[in-house]
Amino acid sequence: MGLSDDQRQNIETVLRNSLRYKFQNYNPEPACMPFHTRLLGSDKLALYSFIQSLNTNFGTSIFEPVAISLASRCFASASSQQTAGYNISTEAQQIIQNIMDNLTTAESFPNKLEEIAAIRSVCQLGEMKHIKPTKVDIKLIAHDDTVYLIDLKTAKPNAGAFKEFKRTLLEWVAVVLAENPDATINTMIAIPYNPYEPEPYRRWTMRGMIDLGNELKVAAEFWNFIGGDDIYNDLLDCFERVGIELRPEIDEYFSRFNTRQ
């Protein structure tokens, strides 16, 4: 079915507003790079700096609101930057530590369904401790009340960081179940695009720590999941249309930095 007209308009509005806000509020950090400047030009360096800055908040300023717009059609509830919960049982903490230890030493392989079952069995046992888990980038509640908590990551996360990612996903499960032991919960990592395309995403970097079938969605797999249809290419078209529409504004902005005129 693809994107509806309303979704296209909403997504393109998010993109326009985000870029224009960035242009109005972005000031390149002062840096003297005389060799680079003479070789490439100040405008090219300004563009590079702008892209680097944009990349740091692309998730919160663009990907998250776009995801919420898409998910609102397919899920009962969709929100961003949410808190999973505040309390975790000491028994659940111990189970999580055991899971992490076994994965780290390769004594077991990741199996999200078994891990959730193990945490559920002790989710309200022992002392309840108050914690501040990592914020949930995207929280979805399906029409059957299944809860999806999604951690949105950059396209090439450091392989060594997946240990902390895994712990975060398990802690989210534990704090949700501490409040509602019967909740149907899944937590996952989402990577908005595949930098290796047309080659498959290099999932081997996280094999052994992440349950690839249940804890990871990349590019079209992620966007089609939250959008409910084969909407990935439609989404790319939205970005292209806005880029073409705003090209004069983009060129005018960076022409200010051209010292060769």
Q: C-alpha angle with apex 54: 69 to 45, nearest 5 degrees?
A: 155
Q: Which residue has the higher pLDDT, 114 or 39?
A: 114
Q: What is the per-residue pLDDT for 129?
A: 94
Classify domain 76-227 by CATH number: 3.40.1560
Please return the burial class of 144, using the count of CB atoms within 10 Å of its CB with bins 0-12, 13-18 and 19+.
exposed
pTM above 0.85, yes or no: yes
Cα 50 to Cα 202: distance, rounded to the nearest angstrom: 28
Sign of CA dihedral 222, 66, 78, 142: negative
Cα 252 to Cα 261: distance, rounded to the nearest angstrom: 13
Torsion, Cα 123 124 129 132, to 10 degrees, reads 40
User: Where along the chain do its domains lie?
Assistant: 1-73+230-261, 76-227
pLDDT tens profile 137-147? 999 999 999 99
pLDDT tens profile 67-122? 998 998 899 999 999 999 999 999 999 999 999 999 988 888 999 999 999 999 99
pLDDT tens profile 156-201? 777 678 889 999 999 999 999 999 999 999 999 999 998 888 888 8
247 contacts 18 by C-beta, under 8 angstroms: no
Residue 2 has pLDDT above 90, yes or no: no
Q: What is the per-residue pLDDT for 161?
A: 82
Task: Name the phi and psi angles at 190, rounded to 5.
Answer: -120, 135
Q: Which residue in 239, 258, 241 sits closest to 54, CA to CA?
A: 239
